[in-house]
Structure 1
Amino acid sequence: SVVGNGALLNKIQLPVSVFPVSMIAANVFQFSVGAFPLLAIMTLVNSKSLVNVLALIFPFIALILVSTGVGFLVSALYVFFRDLPYFYELVVFVIWISSPIFYPAAIVPKQVKPFLSLNPLSPIIESLRQITLSGASPDLGLIWGALLSGIIILALGWTCFHLWRHQFMDLL
C-alpha cells in the first residue's frame, strides 16, 4: 500500500502509516459485516449463551492486531523488496495449511505441535473454534494466547515499519 501510493506521498505530506491502516480498516469492516455475524449466530445456536457471543470479540481483536502487524511489516518490506508478493503468497499458504481451520489441533501429532505453535493464527483460530463450535464457556487461556499473539505481531510490525519509514521516500 505504501508503494502503490508513492506518487501521492511525493506530492502531499501524509503520515506513511495512513495507507496500511486504511487497507486494514477496510478489511476489518468487511469481516465485521460478513463473517462476524455468521460466527455470532453459530455461537448463539451452539451455546445458547450471550456470554459466548460477547467472547467472540476477543479473538476478533487478536485477529485485528495480527492483521495490523502483518500489514505494517509487509508494507515496509515491500518498499525494499519488490518481489515480496511471490514470497508472501507462499508464506500465507503455509500458514493457512498449518492453521487448525479444517481440523482440531487435538489431532495433530506431538512431534508437529511445536511447529503449530509458531503459527500466530493458531491460537486465534483455536479460540474461535472453541467459542463457536463447542458450546462450552470460553477458555481464557486460549483467549489470552490469541491476544498475546496479536500484541507480539503488532509490536514487531509497527517497530519495523517505524524504523524503516525514513528510508521509504528515497526508494519510492
Structure 2
Amino acid sequence: MTVGVLALQGDFREHCAVLRRIGVEPVEVRLPRQLARVERLIIPGGESTTIGRLLVMYQMLEPIRERAGRDLAIWGTCAGAILLANEVVGQKQGGQPAIGAMNLTIQRNAYGSQLDSFEAPITMPIIGEAPLPGVFIRAPRIVALGQGCEAVGWLEDGSVVAARQGRLLATTFHPELTGDDRVHRLFLEL
C-alpha cells in the first residue's frame, strides 16, 4: 500500500511524522507523477482556497476527482474536509476549486477565528471506546450529510466532526497534532 500526503501547503509534515511513527513511509505528493503512484491520499489542514488553487495549478484536481473513492482512498482533515465536500455553506459559486467527492455540506471557519481555536474530546466508536483528543483550528463544521455519507465522530454537543463515505473520510479536526494515531490507522484500513 502506498500512502501519499498532499504536500502543497498546510500541515503535511505532521501527517508524515505520524505515518512514519506507525511504520508507513509516506510519499509527499506535489506533482501528478507522485499522485499516480499512491493508493491513499491525505489532504491536510491548511488554507483550503490556497490548496484548491495549487491543485489546479499543478494539474492534480481532475486526476484526484477521477480517482476519489475508486482506486484512491482519500482522507481530508480540516481544509482537506472542505475540499472533499460537495457543498460549502456561504461560498460563492466558483469561488474555490474543490474535489467535491463527498455528499456532505460543510461550513468554513464555523467556530470563529484563529483565536477561537479549541480542544475537545471526540466520540468516535469506529476507532474504539476511549475519547479521541480533538484539536480544532479555524475549524469547519459538517452541517449536513447526504446519501451514502455517514457520521462517524461527534463532539459532546452532538456536532458531527467526522464523516465517511466508502473510501472517503473527512475530519474537521487535526488528529495529526495529538499523540493519538487511531484515525490514521483507520484510514489505512479503508
Would you say same fold, with TM above 0.5? no
State TM-score, norm by structure 1.
0.29
Relative to total residues, which structure has the larger strand share, 1 or 2?
Answer: 2
